[in-house]
Amino acid sequence: MNYKLLMVSATLLAGSTHVQAATAVYNDVDGSKRIHMQVWKHTLSSTKSSQTARLTIPHDWVVVGGGVDLKINNSALITASYPDIETQQSWIVSTTASENSAAHELTAYAIGIKLIKQ
């Protein structure tokens, strides 16, 4: 896929997202005691055929990964899962389903790290 086309698509999709508060579900510090890693999640339920969630992590963290988990009644597709490259503070996920099977629940995850000053 053309990288420039991908960036334009991501920008258009990001403009239609909902900013969501995230809940921390896991944290750890590496063996050197200098790198702190944390995982946040947010669950979004809706009867809409398309859903988008943006998980924004605290300002002193950098998002390094993320993902999405679907809980569905019929069929739904994951259509996006990517970082906000401009802020490096959010992970964005989107799903879509047909109008006949629109009700679905997505759980979005963001993984962040920060350096611990010693």
Among candidate residues 104, 19, 47, 110, the one with its CA nearest the CA of residue 70: 104
- Asked if residue 105 lies in contact with residue 50, where contact means CB atoms within 8 angstroms, the answer is no
- Asked if residue 54 lies in contact with residue 81, where contact means CB atoms within 8 angstroms, the answer is no
- Asked if residue 42 lies in contact with residue 108, where contact means CB atoms within 8 angstroms, the answer is yes
CATH code matching the domain that covers 3-115, chosen among 1.25.40, 1.10.10, 2.60.40, 2.60.120:
2.60.40
For the chain, 118 residues long, give each residue's pLDDT as a single digit of tens. Answer: 443 433 333 333 444 445 556 789 999 999 999 999 999 998 887 777 788 888 999 999 999 999 998 886 667 888 999 999 998 999 999 988 877 666 778 889 999 999 988 7
State the pTM of this model: 0.76
The residues spanned by each domain of the chain are 3-115
The amino acid at residue 43 is T
The amino acid at residue 71 is K
Would you state the structure tokens that stand for residue 40, as one six-digit string?
């946040």
